[in-house]
């Protein structure tokens, strides 16, 4: 164990996925139940890894600040998006550092981004709906040199499902169904 990461278990999982690719397939889901105004309670749905169902018992609130018609009862959707990207990069950084034998004493990942609300409000044709980009800053206290840290960073970001989903774009599809109250 290094940085509380079981490197041997990681090697075992990698080998299992090499031999049985289906073992590496994961599904995730959330349900958002509207509460009031622009606020919703989010519940994590059961996930699967390699066909095994893993119950998830987590709820949280998404809201906007008063300036955007909310009550600030929880983080905004954009803050959750940034936290998901940042957390995924952090996980990759810790795992890749651990595999290289680097002990981490302290690690912070800061993610920032911007949004032109004119796009969301459909006020101008030239205003983009999507965020203008995300910037991360990794601050780490460890004994690795700059070159090694750059390699760990590249692996952490380059193999981050969340960072690559945002960077490369993924399809967003869906439907609407009318239900009786």
CA distance 170 to 43: 22
> What does pLDDT average to in each consecutive run of 10 residues of the chain (181 residues)?
94 96 97 97 98 97 96 97 98 97 98 96 95 97 98 98 97 96 82
State the pLDDT at residue 145: 97
Residues 40 and 32 sit within 8 Å (Cβ to Cβ): yes
CATH topology of domain 76-169: GMP Synthetase; Chain A, domain 3 (3.30.300)
Burial class (CB in 10 A: 0-12, 13-18, 19+), 3: middle
pLDDT of residue 181: 82
| Region of 45 on the Ramachandran plot (φ > 0 left; ψ -120 to 50 alpha; else beta) | beta
> What does the longest C-alpha to C-alpha distance in the chain come to?
61
Distance CA 163, CA 133 (A): 11
The pTM (predicted TM-score) of the whole model is 0.94
What is the pLDDT at residue 141? 98
Q: What are the residue boundaries of the structural domains of the chain, listed by start?
A: 76-169
């Amino acid at each position: 164990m290094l940085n509380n990461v079981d490197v041997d278990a990681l090697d075992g999982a990698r080998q299992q996925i090499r031999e049985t690719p289906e073992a590496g397939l994961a599904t995730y889901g959330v349900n958002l139940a509207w509460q009031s105004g622009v606020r919703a309670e989010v519940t994590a749905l059961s996930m699967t890894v390699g066909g095994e169902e893993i119950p998830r018992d987590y709820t949280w609130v998404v809201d906007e600040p008063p300036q955007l018609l909310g009550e600030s009862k929880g983080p905004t959707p954009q803050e959750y998006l940034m936290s998901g990207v940042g957390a995924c990069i952090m996980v990759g950084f810790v795992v890749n550092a651990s595999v290289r034998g680097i002990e981490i004493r302290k690690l912070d990942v800061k993610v920032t981004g911007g949004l032109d609300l004119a796009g969301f409000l459909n006020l101008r044709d030239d205003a983009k709906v999507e965020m203008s980009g995300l910037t991360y800053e990794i601050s780490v206290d460890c004994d690795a040199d700059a070159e090694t840290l750059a390699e760990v960073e590249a692996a952490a970001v380059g193999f981050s499902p969340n960072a690559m989903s945002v960077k490369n774009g993924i399809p967003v599809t869906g439907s609407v169904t009318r239900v009786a109250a």
